[in-house]
A and B are shown apart, each in its own frame.
Chain A
Amino acid sequence: GAVVSQHPSWVICKSGTSVKIECRSLDFQATTMFWYRQFPKQSLMLMATSNEGSKATYEQGVEKDKFLINHASLTLSTLTVTSAHPEDSSFYICSARQKFFRNSNQPQHFGDGTRLSIL
């Protein structure tokens, strides 16, 4: 149980386009989803926390107009990288937290990640 599906797994696009990444909790309701960015051989950097039905909370230094987050339902959150440029190329990972996460054996369940390459 507690599977998180992230789509697409890999996307290559031209500079200036916008890219949408989906994160779905398949068998549980995720009141909170987290979006991370990971550079090669580096740690996960939390970008934002999204709560269902409310605006996302962004970490310091993350441009909210560049990285649009929507969490419209208890099973889906999306991250849109707007007007993407080569410096936005990275590995983006989402995770989802169950409503009563302290009763769960894991605080967050992670997706497979999306490799974004901007040409």
Chain B
Amino acid sequence: AQRVTQPEKLLSVFKGAPVELKCNYSYSGSPELFWYVQYSRQRLQLLLRHISRESIKGFTADLNKGETSFHLKKPFAQEEDSAMYYCALLSGNTGKLIFGQGTTLQVKP
């Protein structure tokens, strides 16, 4: 079965603290994974894709095939990082995205 699991519904940290948003997946083939962010009242935006191995707004994510995980990390959280974060898996050649349940990140001052 193709599935994405984000175990935490809410993650609350203080400004400057490290952040790790967990994502685990289930996929039989070679996975393509993404992190999307949705700020309050804004559209869903692509934050990271595992293929590009880039760092956006200080966030990084590494694909760990052994643990079937794609956790999103940032060493020092900022208040403007407060948003809803979705991990997503691209399903085969259909182009369908399978989304996790989402994690609300709340960065307190």
Interface on A for B, CB 8 Å cutoff?
A: 32, 34, 41-44, 46, 49, 93, 95, 97, 101, 105-108, 110-113
Given A105-B49, A111-B43, A112-B43, A43 and B97 touching (CB < 8 A)? Answer: no
Task: State the majority secondary structure of interface residues on B.
Answer: strand
Contact B43 A105 (CB under 8 A): no
Bound form: Cα–Cα A21–B94 in Å: 24
Which B46-61 residues have C-beta < 8 A from chain A? 46, 49, 52
Contact B101 A107 (CB under 8 A): no
Bound form: Cα–Cα A105–B52 in Å: 9
- Give the nearest-CB partner of A45 in chain B: B99
In the complex, what's the smallest C-beta–C-beta distance from A32 to chain B, in angstroms? 6
Bound form: Cα–Cα A34–B96 in Å: 8
* Total A-B contacts with CB atoms under 8 angstroms apart: 45
Given A44-B86, A105-B49, A49 and B94 touching (CB < 8 A)? Answer: yes
Contact B99 A44 (CB under 8 A): yes
In the complex, what's the smallest C-beta–C-beta distance from A56 to chain B, in angstroms? 13
By a CB distance below 8 angstroms, the chain B residues around A49 are 94, 96
Given A44-B44, A93-B44, A97-B95, A107 and B34 touching (CB < 8 A)? Answer: yes
